[in-house]
Amino acid sequence: MSRPLKATTVAMVLSAVAGIALTAPQAVAGPAPIGTITVQHARLDWTPTRTAAQIATLNAQTRAPASIPTFTATVHDNASTFHYTMVGKDPFVAQTNPSTTIDTTLIPIVITFSNGDTWDPSVIDSCDSQSALTRTQNSPIFVAQPWKFGRTSVGSGQYIDAFQRAEFYSQTNPTTGINPGYHVKLALKTHAPLVLHVPTTDAAESTTVCGTHKLGGVEINYLDTAIQHYITGTLGSAATTTFPLFVLDNVVEYAGTTGLCCVLGYHNAMINTGRPQTYGVAMYDNTGQLPDVRDTSAISHEVAEWMNDPFGDNPTKPWGNIGQVSGCQNNLEVGDPLSGTGITDTLNDKAYHLQELAFFSWFYHSSPSLGVNGWFSSNKTFTTSAPPCTP
């Protein structure tokens, strides 16, 4: 049966996360007290800082044959011309076989603090009958099903695959498109967990109703360094041809201080044994206190952004003051303008929460839109392209 997108309550991520019940620091057992998360603002993702040398190396190695399948193309936005790279094959060029499959390694991260508090995605908590890991494995991120956008069927696929078909529907349309068989699929494999014993200086927490009854917080630079070491040391060079996706359960990140919270996920690129390596990190939320950022919504945000902007450097004209973005932004991050805008999809009796996503045409001012139904986003929140943004 086809599964139409269903609108859910729309709210800014800040208002959702600010709804967490925060408490004053309390005495806990252990060698040192754990900090308390203070929510000042929240983002569904984070833009890592790269040195000039890292950028130069990535630019030199990006699109290398040893990396994941990508294509690089050019788009004209009125008088401006932009080069961009995406995962998969070029939908604007007729392909003999337009379908791409990316080996995807799902890696749960077990977080342990010095006071004994632990968050393990493979463990069932008090608010669900299945673990965060199992829910993620069985979610629309990895399970194919029929999809309708409005009244238009875009075929069967995983959620982000269906999104890709919908945003390039002028090319993937089964009647008139040059690539009706276009897909970008994720082939799931689950890896042994990454276990982190987080130093007290990089740890914080707050109260929730589920699991350990704590929302964990980890300093983001500590976490990203640990993930990169795990990729190079444990996954090795073979990971460069895969998409490692790290999942946390009820754990967020903060940048530098606990007052700069919270980040719920991000995608990044690095050099692994001389080759380009992309990866993603996202929180499975089971606190029950973040209705617009629930269960797999952050995961859907990051997987879609990775697929559309795997190296985080696809340029656009400035856009902003929308979604999670205050001020102007100028990159092809398809989740950011609609952070907090959700849909639901019921799969195997579980109502999964996914994020609505902005189409390619919204960023590059296509007229008419290349997307399904002439839309500029996957659930019709955007009916025109991005307005100009002035800093």
Whether 390 is in a domain gets the answer no
Whether 379 is in a domain gets the answer no
Whether 384 is in a domain gets the answer no
Report the pLDDT value the prediction gives residue 15, as an integer from 0 to 100.
27
Whether 303 is in a domain gets the answer yes
Whether 336 is in a domain gets the answer yes
Which range of residues forms the domain containing residue 16? Answer: 3-26+33-374
Report the pLDDT value the prediction gives residue 23, as an integer from 0 to 100.
31
CA-based nearest residue to 140, from 376, 351, 307? 351
Q: What distance lies between CA 77 and its chain's CA centroid?
A: 26
How many domains is the chain partitioned into structurally?
1
Q: What's 201's DSSP letter? A: G
Q: How many CB atoms lie within 10 A of CB 176?
A: 10
The CA–CA distances, whole Å, from 129 to 133, 135, 311 equal 12, 10, 37
Report the pLDDT value the prediction gives residue 223, as an integer from 0 to 100.
97
Whether 348 is in a domain gets the answer yes
pLDDT in single tens digits along all 391 residues of the chain = 444 444 333 222 322 332 222 233 343 444 567 888 865 555 556 556 555 455 555 555 545 555 899 999 999 999 999 999 999 999 999 999 999 999 999 999 999 999 999 999 999 988 899 999 999 999 999 999 999 999 999 999 999 999 999 999 999 999 999 999 999 999 999 999 999 999 999 999 988 877 668 889 999 999 999 999 999 999 999 999 999 999 999 999 998 888 778 899 999 999 999 899 999 999 999 887 765 789 999 999 999 999 999 999 999 999 999 999 999 999 999 999 999 899 999 999 999 999 999 999 999 999 999 999 999 999 999 999 999 998 7
- Angle at 339 (CA atoms; ends 202, 6), nearest 5 degrees: 130
179 φ, ψ (degrees, to nearest 5): -135, 65
Whether 229 is in a domain gets the answer yes
Which helix (H) or strand (E) segment is 136 a member of?
helix 132-137
Helix axes 297-308, 159-167, angle to 10 degrees: 50
> Could you tell me which residues come within 8 angstroms of residue 96 by beta carbon, excluding any fewer than 6 positions away?
none
Whether 343 is in a domain gets the answer yes
